[in-house]
Amino acid sequence: MSYGPIRERLRRGEVLILDGAIGTEILRRDLTWADHQVLSRPTVVRAIHEDYVKAGADVISTNTFQLTRRALFNHFRDEAHRRHIGAPDLDDRADRLLRAAVDLALEARAAVSGGRPVAVAGAITTLEWCFRPDLAPTPAQARPEYRETIGALAKAGCDLVLIETVNSIAEAQVAVEAANEIGLPCWVSFVPDEHGKLFSGESMAEASRTLASLGPDALLVNCAPPEDARAGLRELAAARSGPIGIYPHIGRFDPPEWRFTDEYPPARYVEEARGWLGLGAQILGGCCGTTPAHIAALCRDLWSGVPGPRSELSTPSDSGPRTPDCS
Amino acid sequence: MLRLRYGTAHARVMSAYEVVRGALGRGGPIVLGGPMGTELVRRGVRWRGHGMLTDSDAVRTLYLEYLAAGADLIRTNTFQLNRRIYLDVFRDAAHMRHIGAPGLAQRASELTRRAVELAREARVRSGREGVAIAGVMSPLEHCFRPDLAPPAHEAEAEHRELASVLAEAGVDLILLESMNTLTEARGAARAGRETGLPLWASFVLSPDGRVLGGEPLAEAAAAMRDLGAEAVLVNCVPPVDVGPALETLVPGGPAGAFPHLGKLDPPSWKLEFFPRFCQTDEWPPERLAMAAAEWLSRGARIIGSCCGSGPAHTRALSPRSEVRGPRPSRSGLEMRSQPNPPAPFPKGKGELLNSHPLPFREEGWGVRL
């Protein structure tokens, strides 16, 4: 297991770099993302993971966003209808794709980490759509599904689970409980709105309070524009003494794809990230629209101030990460 | 004659559907063009914007191939195209404006107009001006999820918007496809009729032969005819489900079917209709033609095929394809994904079909310009 050194570094208050986007990076490499591509184009997916490891990421996440049985079954009215008109392998397709996706991340780490401790985080998100808390299943419905998917990620060899783009406290709680039962360390990341609240309308403070007793190792915000993510981070920082993190998206959601913009080239992304350090973020990465170049820039330049003017908030000597209080 | 009248849109529009209507009145058969989505994806088109922003040549080419294959009516590339498919993946309209690409609120309307424009261009190029262009409308939410259907008043208003875009863009009739609840179908039918265009309505069924949302098919068909539908069909069901459905539909008036071939192979990441079917080689064109012969013998006047089929299937159904000269190429597109040459006819798999003579080999079958 490669999570031990990562957890230790979190406890020491060190800054960790998470990887960048997988799904939009697949699109950027001129493939559709309809199937996560883990079976159809494994070399492309593995190469993306390798690029993030080579860029210097301490934690890479699996290409498993929204990859569940429910996501496949949702395309049918019910089981009878699925059996009548659906592809014959749908019962266990999610499980096969999950295993293949984790394998690709593990293979990438083995190939290019050079012995550097890199953790593989199994990514899981809300069971319905990440931006639609109104569609969320009840906790009773969600519980066995989280157990199933997190169980599959654990069995396939993930070091931790990254429960990401979460839109309500209730779903986060069910997911963390499932991870705890399975015995996999977990990080939880919420999608914040412009005011730094969860999409359910709940506050980061409530989320932090509710999850405290369940002990996720870190709380983060992701999949919002940098300014919204910063608002969410600020709320988390005010509410929580343990490790917090941030990985915003850049560009525009252009369903079913992503529109890449030049608003946040790597150098500007690094400048933005210095502000996150100033707010106490200990885990920094990127969501949709970010690339290995963004992660490489974070790893290379975050402390050096090489690209462009340095933010006054965020030199490591004066306002680096707080010493976290990890009990 | 029709070519001479092509000077005004009105004359052409009336004539194109009048040809179909005349054939329908004579008992058909009318052959529908095949699907756009699954065939475009099979040809390697990356499914975004229904292919119309990035692969408009491929869209036009496919229309042309259905026209060359002998279709009497082609269906626009607008299935599951409405503003909800964009709005649904955001929290709300404000969130869409906040993090979405510019113009998403108008995207569906723009793509709809483009779909009709490409179909009309293809028709002109084909020289088959008597072929009708059916403006396809479908459930606003996922076609196989009747539980997600919006409330009646919302559905009707949104269908009205779609129907008016199709009508203004110049379709010859409105075709409601894969309708999964009677409530939404009623709203869509009223919206379609308000344009003044002719209307056909087609339902997707559950395994027990009811409309997928649970209503009896007979009731749904009667409701559509009451609202002015000139034909009622079933589509996007397996071919084996067509016969029983026709027993219900045929006594009520002009009826037809365009089943899908193979199995729905959904994407693993998002609830959006992604047009991909697998195991389609179990239904080579010859097998579909044999099945269609049986549907015609049961009184169907309109035949075609839905997801999973392609121009070769349309050609196998059409009596006119054999006299229309050389077959078109399989398009200039490279087959990048899942090349799918029709498999040899699966011997022994045709038991469910009888051995009716194939009516499309008879003289006088089909419509004439």
DSSP-derived secondary structure for B242-294: HHHHHHHHGGGSSEEEE---SEE---SS-SS----EE-GGGS-HHHHHHHHHH
Neighbours of A152 (CB within 10 A): 25
With an 8 Å Cβ cutoff, are B101 and A259 in contact? yes
With an 8 Å Cβ cutoff, are B265 and A87 in contact? yes
Q: Please tell me the distance in Å from B104's CA to the nearest CA on chain A.
A: 8
Residue of B268, B276, B279, B337 to mutate, testing the A interface (most A Cβ within 10 Å of its Cβ): B268
First to last CA, chain B: 9
* HSE (side-chain half, CA atoms, 13 Å) at A152: 24
Listed in sequence order, the residues at least 6 apart from A43 whose beta carbon sits closer than 8 Å to its beta carbon are none
Q: What is the predicted pLDDT for the residue at B142? A: 96
With an 8 Å Cβ cutoff, are A93 and B85 in contact? no
Sheet holding A119-125, edge to edge: A16-17, A283-284, A244-247, A218-222, A186-190, A160-166, A119-125, A59-61
Listed in sequence order, the residues at least 6 apart from A163 whose beta carbon sits closer than 8 Å to its beta carbon are A124, A125, A172, A175, A176, A179, A186, A187, A188, A189, A216
Listed in order, strand segments (DSSP E) in chain B are 30-31, 73-75, 132-137, 173-179, 199-203, 229-235, 255-258, 263-264, 277-278, 302-303
With an 8 Å Cβ cutoff, are A34 and B278 in contact? no
Strand, coil or helix: B9: helix
Neighbours of B275 (CB within 10 A): 23
φ, ψ of residue B270 in degrees (nearest 5): -155, 145
Strand, coil or helix: B134: strand
On chain B, the residues whose CB falls within 8 A of the CB of A252 are 99-102
On chain B, the residues whose CB falls within 8 A of the CB of A80 are 206-207
Q: Which residue of B has its CA nearest to A38?
A: B268
With an 8 Å Cβ cutoff, are A199 and B142 in contact? no
On chain A, the residues whose CB falls within 8 A of the CB of B101 are 252-254, 259
Q: What is the predicted pLDDT for the residue at B272? A: 82
Which of B47, B207, B271 lies closest to A80 in CB terms? B207
Where b means 16+ CB within 10 Å and e means fewer, B316-348 reads bbbbbbeebeeebeebebeeeeeebebeeeeee
First to last CA, chain A: 21
CA distance A33 to B269: 8
With an 8 Å Cβ cutoff, are B207 and A224 in contact? no
B28 torsion bin: left (phi>0), alpha (psi -120 to 50), beta (else): left
| DSSP 8-state secondary structure symbol assigned to residue A198 | B
Strand, coil or helix: A165: strand
CA distance A214 to A179: 10
Q: What is the predicted pLDDT for the residue at A1? A: 54
- In this prediction the pTM is 0.88
CA distance A34 to B38: 14
CA distance B189 to B54: 32
Q: Please tell me the distance in Å from B357's CA to the nearest CA on chain A.
A: 29
Burial of B300 (0-12, 13-18, 19+ CB in 10 A): buried
Strand, coil or helix: B95: helix
> Looking at this predicted complex, what is its ipTM?
0.90
The per-residue pLDDT string of chain A (327 residues; one tens digit each, 9 = 90 and over) reads 589 999 999 999 999 999 999 999 999 999 988 889 999 999 999 999 999 999 999 999 999 999 999 999 999 999 999 999 999 999 999 999 999 999 999 999 999 999 999 999 999 999 999 999 999 999 999 999 999 999 999 999 999 999 999 999 999 999 999 999 999 999 999 999 999 999 999 999 999 999 999 999 999 999 999 999 999 999 999 999 999 999 999 999 999 999 999 999 999 999 999 999 999 999 999 999 999 999 999 999 998 854 443 333 333 333 344 333 332
Listed in sequence order, the residues at least 6 apart from A32 whose beta carbon sits closer than 8 Å to its beta carbon are B46, B47, B48
Which tokens go with A39?
Answer: 């079976």
Q: Which residue of B has its CA nearest to A33?
A: B269
Low-confidence ranges of chain B (pLDDT < 50): 1-13, 322-369
Q: Which residue of B has its CA nearest to A34?
A: B267
Residues of chain A whose C-beta is under 8 A from some C-beta in B? 23, 31-36, 65-67, 71-72, 74-77, 80-81, 84-88, 90, 93-94, 97, 129, 131-133, 193-194, 199, 224-225, 249, 252-257, 259
Residue type, A183: G
Where b means 16+ CB within 10 Å and e means fewer, A256-291 reads bbbebeeebebebbbbbbbbbbbbbbbbbbbbbbbb
Task: Answer whether B365's CB lies under 8 Å from B359's CB.
Answer: yes
Q: Where are the alpha helices (DSSP H) in A136-265?
A: 139-155, 169-182, 204-212, 226-239
Strand, coil or helix: B148: helix
Which of A72, A77, A133 lies closest to B266 in CB terms? A72
Q: How far is CA B168 from CA A11, A175, B57, B84, B172, in A?
A: 65, 50, 23, 21, 10
Q: What is the predicted pLDDT for the residue at A248? A: 98
For helices A226-239 and A204-212, the axis angle rounded to 10 degrees is 50
